[in-house]
């Protein structure tokens, strides 16, 4: 079953995120994932927007999403992102 990965990011240090996007996209593709959206242009329709950026990914199944997130390929990028943002990640089945 397809799973969606949603990341909400705040307090983004753009300098510290330099060089993150391209290798992260390659790592996502290596696990069968793809970007659905990645934007800081968020329109709030209800409630309060609680993030500066939203990233939405799609993976063929939960296991591939989990394998990507825990992979050696993504590990240095994960550490870079954690040091450069305040993030909240969820999987939606």
Residue count (the chain): 93
Task: List, for residues 39-87, the tens digit of each pLDDT value.
Answer: 999 999 999 888 999 999 999 999 999 999 999 999 999 999 999 999 9
What span, in angstroms and rounded, lies between the C-alpha atoms of 21 and 31?
A: 16
Task: Determine the pLDDT at residue 85.
Answer: 95
Q: What angle do CA 20, 24, 29 make, to 5 degrees?
A: 160
Task: Determine the pLDDT at residue 41.
Answer: 93
Task: Classify domain 3-40+53-92 by CATH number.
Answer: 3.30.70.100
DSSP letter (8 states) at residue 56: E
What span, in angstroms and rounded, lies between the C-alpha atoms of 57 and 80?
A: 19
Domain residue limits, the chain: 3-40+53-92
Task: List, for residues 11-29, the tens digit of each pLDDT value.
Answer: 999 999 999 999 999 999 9
Model-level pTM greater than 0.95? no
């Amino acid at each position: 079953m397809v799973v969606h990965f949603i990341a909400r990011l705040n307090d983004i240090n753009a300098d510290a995120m330099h060089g993150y996007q391209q290798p992260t996209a390659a790592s996502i593709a290596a696990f069968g994932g793809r970007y659905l959206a990645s934007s800081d242009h968020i329109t709030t329709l209800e409630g309060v927007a609680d993030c500066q950026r939203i990233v939405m990914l799609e993976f063929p199944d939960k296991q591939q999403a989990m394998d990507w997130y825990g992979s050696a390929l993504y590990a240095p990028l994960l550490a870079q992102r954690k040091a450069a943002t305040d993030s909240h990640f969820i999987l939606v089945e």
